[in-house]
Structure 1
Amino acid sequence: MHLNVDYELQAKMVIPPTARPAPVIKFLKPYVLQMHFSSKYVSAQVIHSPTATVAASASSREKVLRSAMGSTRDVAAAAKIGKVLGERLLFKKIPAVSVFLKREQKYHGKVKAVIDSVRDTGVKLL
């Protein structure tokens, strides 16, 4: 009988594990903005992380955009690319994106121009 009492006590003392909700990151950041700057061109794209597909992109290599801008590699070109990308995101009904910066990219110059112009079009940055 003594064994049964100990077993019942242990059964009552065990705390069930808490149920963890799904990580919030999966819901908040499915779209990621990535930028690439070469010595001649500026390009930016938004990737849908769960499916690893490109949701929208803009580049100064596009003929339509190249004719509208003077230089394809300066800060003004980066701002134009960000504006076009933001409009394409709103057209596809993507309201928010998160920003992925590489190690060498700082929030300055062309990177700042792209991010600020995407934000100015109405897309929220997480």
Structure 2
Amino acid sequence: MSKKSAKPEQAFSTKVGETSQPKPEMLPEMASDTSDNSTFAAGMPTLEPPEAGIFAQAGLTANAWFNSKKVTGVWVSNDNKNAYVHVNGVGWLKLNDADADSILAIYMIAASARQGSNNVNYRKEADNKIHEIYCW
């Protein structure tokens, strides 16, 4: 019983003539959301991320929270500060590339959420990048 699997070079591509950093592309067989962890087990953290209105009160705008989402893929390249996560129903989102430490931290949380099929809450700003993420 052999199952055909996608090779990494088939899963991710860049357009011909594109000079920017490569971007991930998800193949249909890579997108599988087989479990639903919408309820939390007893003893798990109960702290919720701040509401978007708190940011508006502080004078910050153009950011939004997206709650109870599934991370179905993670991708990173050897280019400087180039990492993405695939959110089910949303697509690929680039991680905040302000510094390498923030990318690593967000990437590790997203990878853990994907591995455990846990829901995440994330904050996306006007630059269409994930700047903050919560996972339980």
Q: Which of the five TM-score ranges fits, normalised by the shorter chain? A: under 0.3
Q: TM-score of the superposition, structure 1-length normalised?
A: 0.27
Larger Rg: 1
Write 1 or 2 for the structure with the bigger share of strand: 2
Q: TM-score of the superposition, structure 2-length normalised?
A: 0.25
